[in-house]
Amino acid sequence: MLLFHLHRFYPLLLAFASAAYNTHDDDLSIRTPSFSILGSLSTSNVRRFAGIPYAEPPTGGNRFRPPVTKKPYTDLLNTTSFGPSCLQYDTGAPGLSDYLPAQVPDSGQSEDCLTLNIWTPRAQKLKEGGELLPVMIWIPGGALLNGGSSAPNYDGTSFVENQNVLLVSMNYRVNIFGFPAAAALDGSHHNVGLLDQRMAVEWLYNNIYAFGGDAKRMTLFGQSAGASSTDFFSYAWWYDPLVSGLIIESGAVGNNKVTYSEGTSNFSYVASQVGCGGLGKDEELKCMQATNAETILKVYEAYNATENSGRSLGFGASVDEETIFSNFSDRRARGLVAKLPVIIGNTNDEYTSLYSPFTSTGPNQTEIDQLSNAVFACPAAISSNFRAQQLRVPTYRYRYFGVFPNLNPFPWLGAYHASEIPIVFGTSYISGPDTEAEKKLSMYMQGAWAAFAKDPVHGLEVYGWPRYEVGTNTLALLGRDNGTIEVGSAEEWDAVCS
- Residues 156 and 291 reside in one and the same domain: no
The mean pLDDT value of the chain amounts to 91
- Residues 438 and 395 reside in one and the same domain: yes
Residue 474 has pLDDT above 80, yes or no: yes
**pLDDT band for position 314 (cuts 50, 70, 90):** confident
Residue 24 CA, distance from chain mean position: 32
- Residues 102 and 79 reside in one and the same domain: yes
- CA–CA separation, 167 vs 50, rounded Å? 11
Secondary structure E strands in 7-156: 29-31, 36-38, 40-41, 46-53, 77-78, 115-121, 133-139
**Helical ranges in 106-213 per DSSP H:** 123-129, 157-163, 175-178, 192-207
Cis check: omega of the bond before 456, within 30 degrees of 0: no
Other C-beta atoms lying within 10 Å of the C-beta of residue 377: 27
- Of all residues in the chain, the percent with pLDDT exceeding 90 is 80
- Of all residues in the chain, the percent with pLDDT exceeding 70 is 93
The CA distances from residue 139 to 124, 163, 196, 219, 249, in Å, are: 29, 19, 11, 11, 11
Sign of CA dihedral 253, 258, 264, 269: negative
Residue 4 has pLDDT above 80, yes or no: no
Answer yes or no: is 330 within a domain.
no
Mean pLDDT across 75-88: 96
- CA–CA separation, 43 vs 161, rounded Å? 9
Residue 22 has pLDDT above 70, yes or no: no
Other C-beta atoms lying within 10 Å of the C-beta of residue 94: 13
Q: What is the pLDDT at residue 436?
A: 98
Residue of 42, 372, 417, 428 with catalytic role = 417
pLDDT higher for 357 or 175? Answer: 175
| Domain end residue (candidates: 239, 262, 285) | 262
Nearest to 265 by CA among 303, 322, 321, 294: 303
Residue of 249, 350, 420, 438 with catalytic role = 350
pLDDT in tens, 233-267: 999 999 999 999 999 999 999 865 444 556 789 99
Residue 224 annotated to the active site: yes
Answer yes or no: is 324 within a domain.
no
- Residues 371 and 439 reside in one and the same domain: yes
**pLDDT band for position 17 (cuts 50, 70, 90):** very low
- Residues 144 and 68 reside in one and the same domain: yes
43-57, 170-184, 361-375, 393-407: the lowest-pLDDT one: 361-375
Mean pLDDT across 357-380: 91
Question: Please, which residues bridge with residue 395 across strands?
Answer: 342
Q: What is the pLDDT at residue 260?
A: 53
Residue of 42, 107, 224, 234 with catalytic role = 224
- Predicted TM-score (pTM) of this structure: 0.94
Nearest to 266 by CA among 312, 326, 325: 312
What domain count does the chain have?
Answer: 3
Question: For residue 35, which amino acid is it?
Answer: F
- Torsion of the alpha carbons at 415, 419, 422 and 426, rounded to the nearest 10: 20
- Torsion of the alpha carbons at 107, 113, 114 and 118, rounded to the nearest 10: -20
Answer yes or no: is 322 within a domain.
no
Residue 480 has pLDDT above 70, yes or no: yes
Q: What is the pLDDT at residue 60?
A: 97
- CA–CA separation, 38 vs 30, rounded Å? 7
pLDDT in tens, 393-402: 999 999 999 9
Mean pLDDT across 277-306: 94
Mean pLDDT across 29-54: 96
DSSP 294-329: HHHHHHHHH--GGGGTT----------SSSS-S-HH
- Residues 255 and 304 reside in one and the same domain: no
Residue 303 CA, distance from chain mean position: 27
Answer yes or no: is 335 within a domain.
no
Answer yes or no: is 55 within a domain.
yes
Residue 376 has pLDDT above 60, yes or no: yes
Residue 23 has pLDDT above 50, yes or no: no
- Residues 359 and 437 reside in one and the same domain: yes
14-28, 218-232, 347-361: the lowest-pLDDT one: 14-28
Residue 350 annotated to the active site: yes
**pLDDT band for position 122 (cuts 50, 70, 90):** very high
Residue 305 has pLDDT above 90, yes or no: no
Residue 5 has pLDDT above 80, yes or no: no
Q: Domain of residue 297: give its range.
A: 265-308
